[in-house]
Structure 1
Amino acid sequence: MSRTRVTALVAAVTALALAACGTTENTAEPTAATPAAGGPVTVTDSRGKEVKLDNPASKVVALEWGEAEMLVSLGVMPVGVADPKGYATWVTAAKLDAEVKDVGTRGEPSVDSIVALQPDLVVMADGRGPNLVSQLEKYVPVIVTKSSDATDNLGRMRNDLNMIAQAVGRTTEAEKLLADLDTAIAEGKQKIAEAGATGKSFAIADGWKEGSTVSIRMFGEGALVSQLGIQLGLTNAWQGKTDEVWGLGQTDVEGLTGLKSPDLHFFYNASDGTDVFADGLAGNAIWTSLPFVQQGNLHRMPDGIWTFGGPLSGKQYIDQFVATYAG
């Protein structure tokens, strides 16, 4: 789409008034980027749709945090992100510049705000709804990532990164990011093996509290961060039901009684400051009787390690696994 056409459509979208339905911090540095080569680019996204660009995109809006992290790590700072304040809370692997504009929430981004930035491209995740895609595609090219796939989340993450890299002309940077991730996995696996921890158990969760009820979201074998642990030679101990997209399941404190392995380490994320495990379950007799609680194998992850991110967040998780089992 030409810049002239986009500029004209900014005024049009205003008139239409569209609205979309829509431990210490260890921050890795994004990959140093080389200038993207010019010329037409064609990308086939997760829908199987070919998206054609006159040149690699340089002004990009990201509507999901994992995709925003990937862009920054490739050396492309988004001009707009859905909920950048939340991103700053949950994602530290690839920080946003202060100038990045807020284009609404992840669940309901603003089409007006997006189009007003005159982007070359919008990157969004599958599952946000066809209505949002169709509205945006009236004004700007859109590529849709798969975002999660519990059958092979590591492979899916690699594919999403490579697709985004192709659209922004940063394939060399993507190759380096993935090579660095592979190195981190190989080195971490070796350290864990040398520590005699291969095969030991882990569980990963987050949770929330409504009234006096604590709900716990478990990360099964198909969740991205679980697959990283498995690649390191560890064993995910959660055997409960999980969904086919994210690899996530839900339980309560009674449901954790099946986690009986004496060497199990339990990891959880509470970057928003709401720690239901330390606070909501304090004094709960079932919780305090669990082996991993009694043995001190309970680990609140450092704030800002995004569970659904790209290679840089993945390396942060790997560091935590290695520090726990081989430190």
Structure 2
Amino acid sequence: MMKTLITPLLFTLSAALLAAPVQVEDSRGSHSLPDVPQRVAALNWDIAEQVIELGVTPVAMPNIADYTAWVAQPAVPEGVEDIGTRMEPNLERLAQLQPDVIIIASPQIDLVPKLEQIAPVLLYHTYNESHDNAQAAIENFRRMAAALGKEAEAEQRLTAMSQRLNELKAQLSEAYLGQLPRVVAFRFASLTSVYVYGDNSIPQYALAQLGVAPAWPQPATQWGVTQKRLKALGQLPAETVALYYQPFDEEAKLQTSKIWQALPFVRNGGVNSVAPAWNYGGAMSILYNAEVLAEALLAVAPEK
């Protein structure tokens, strides 16, 4: 009887002794976790996107309905708990979910002291005007993958992305007979104001991977956007192709907007909307932006 009781006990003790802490890296440095996290709370959309891409279903994330409308890809798996907004998540509910790790981005940095009372916190800060946001997104994707024991999955996804970007680039070159137009990509702030994507933005980086040059270069900023009056787009040549991102609730009103209808590229037919893709996401957002931008460009390519 004694031998029967001792054997499982020894096995448990041996397993505990063999389990070493996991060393991980985030934007704050090196951290030690007791084990590879299984229950992951992702408190920002770019974080949730990457966790899902790595094949991990988060136990919690914020604003699922808005994520579905604005980020779109990847889809949120069944069973993920919506814990409120990105800036003010429901901490009480988060604690009840008992995550092994909470992963955040810069919008949640002020919450770190409170979050650390619930579980270990990893911060991945991607968007900063002092570095290349696209490269930071890729680096953080690899760091996050290492923390979750998903290094192989990350490399597979990055390789597939590179291959897909090359395919899209070839399709565009064929459609435009090697003479790709210059493109201005933007999102409407209102019927009279736009956010133009420039240096350090995911859309411009995605366009560059497709071989497309910007029609209206903008300086690097933290998020890669510069706000402009809509009428300022009138300075662009008529041969410019303008691509604006969905969703835009007032899109129907563009048909009666005198400012919009007077823009040279609108009169020339060089304009199209772009399906939703998150412009401030992680590494895979580069691919999703490239795919919807390529789709919009192919739709307005000249007939052969």
**TM-score, normalised via structure 2 length:** 0.83
Counterpart contact for 1:225–1:308, Cα < 8 Å: no
- What SS does structure 1 have at the residue aligned with 2:256? coil
Residue 11 of structure 2 corresponds to residue 43 of structure 1: no
- With over 3 angstroms needed to count, the CA separation of the structure-2 counterparts of 1:241 and 1:204, relative to structure 1, is same
Query: How far does the alpha carbon of each residue in 1:279-301 deviate from its partner, in whole angstroms, 9 at most, with x for none?
Result: 2x443333212122112222212
> Could you tell me how far 1:105 is from its partner in structure 2?
0.3
| Amino acid of the structure 2 residue aligned with 1:145 | Y
Q: Which residue pairs with 2:184 in the alignment? A: 203
Q: 2:244 aligns with which of 268, 281, 296?
A: 268
Paired position in structure 1 for 2:33: 53
Q: Which structure is higher in helix share?
A: 2
Once residues 317 and 164 of structure 1 are traced to their aligned partners in structure 2, the CA distance between those partners, rounded to angstroms, is 21
User: Would the aligned equivalents of 1:66 and 1:308 in 2 still touch at CA under 8 Å?
Assistant: yes
Other-structure match for 1:322: 294
- In the other structure, the counterpart of 1:175 is 155
Q: Secondary structure at the match of 1:129?
A: helix
Change (3 A) 1:91 1:202: same
Say yes or no: does 1:91 pair with 2:71: yes
What are the Cα deviations for residues 139-164 of structure 1, in whole angstroms up to 9, with x where unaligned?
Answer: 21111112324542221111111111
Judge conservation of contact 1:56–1:167 (CA < 8 Å) in 2.
yes
Alignment of 1:306 onto 2:268: no
Q: Alignment partner for residue 227 of structure 1, among 205, 208, 214? A: 205
**Higher relative contact order (CA closer than 8 Å, sequence separation 6+):** 1
Q: 2:25·2:147 contact (CA, 8 Å) conserved in 1?
A: no
User: Partner amino acid for 2:274?
Assistant: M
Amino acid at match of 1:133: V
Q: Give 2:3's aligned residue.
A: none
Q: 1:216 deviation in Å?
A: 1.1
| Aligned residues of 1:197 and 1:325 also touching (Cα < 8 A) | no
**CA 282–202 in structure 1, closer or farther in 2 if over 3 Å, else same:** same
Identity over aligned pairs, percent: 28
Q: Which amino acid aligns with 2:83?
A: V
Matched position secondary structure for 2:265? helix
Aligned residues: 279
Is contact 1:192-1:198 (8 Å) kept? Answer: no
Q: 8 Å contact 1:200–1:234 — kept in the other structure?
A: yes
CA distance in 1, matches of 2:284, 2:92: 31
Q: Mark the structure with the bigger radius of gyration.
A: 2
CA distance, structure 2, for counterparts of residue 242 and residue 282 of structure 1: 32
Q: TM-score, normalised by structure 1?
A: 0.78
Deviation, 1:241, is 5.0
1:254 matched to which residue of 2? 231
Q: Which residue is equivalent to 1:32?
A: none
- Partners of 2:24 and 2:147 within 8 A in 1: yes
Letter in 1 for 2:22: V
Q: What stretches of structure 2 of length at least 5 have no aligned partner?
A: 1-18
- Tell me which residue corresponds to 1:104: 84
> Matched residues in 2 for 1:54 and 1:70: separation?
22
